[in-house]
Structure 1
Amino acid sequence: MTNKPDPAGLDFSGVSWEKSPFSGGGDNCVEFGVIGQHVAIRDSKNPTQTPLVYTRTEIAALLDGAKSGAFDHLR
């Protein structure tokens, strides 16, 4: 199991941020970026706000749930 670092102590300046091609562009998107062994998530409207950081296992669970339709009620 990988311990999650404190996001406040990480340097995100070298992270390459990605948006979903389904986001429709603009600045109202969630962006993902890899930082070390973890995945960071940020709000594109607030790029200077400290991102959330998750383990690869947590991201896999999120993606599996989204692919299975588990979150469709949130649309």
Structure 2
Amino acid sequence: MNSKIKWQKSSFSGSGAQCVEVAEHNGAILLRESDEPNAITTTNRDKFAAFIAGIKAGEFDHFAN
């Protein structure tokens, strides 16, 4: 994977390695866990947008409790 990819994590993650990071590369959305940087999942913008909409609507809140 390209070393120039700019990974971003939530400001709610704090300074630890317990976070999910996201990046864009060649039109794809990449996801990884900061403590497993080589385990990258790829999706597209439409699927990621639907997931974010579900998060904003509270559909996944039960996973964080």
Shift of 1:25: 1.9
Larger Cα-atom Rg: 1
How many angstroms apart in 1 are the aligned matches of 2:61 and 2:49?
Answer: 17
Q: Compute the TM-score of the two structures, normalised by the length of structure 2.
A: 0.90
Match of 2:52 among 33, 44, 63: 63
1:24-75 Cα distance to aligned partner (Å, 9 max, x none): 221111000110111100110022x231011000100110000000001111
Q: Measure how far apart 1:14 and its partner are.
A: 1.6
Return 5+ residue gaps in structure 1 as ranges. Answer: 1-10
Which structure has the higher relative contact order (CA within 8 Å, separation 6+)? 1
Partner of 1:22: 12
TM-score (norm: length of structure 1): 0.79
Partners of 1:12 and 1:61 lie apart in 2 by 26
Give the distance between the partners of 2:2 and 2:39, measured in 1 at CA.
Answer: 9
Q: Which has the higher strand share?
A: 2
Which stretches of structure 1, 4 residues or more, deviate above 2 A after TM superposition?
none
Identity %: 36
Which segments of 5 or more consecutive residues in structure 2 lack a partner in the other structure?
A: none
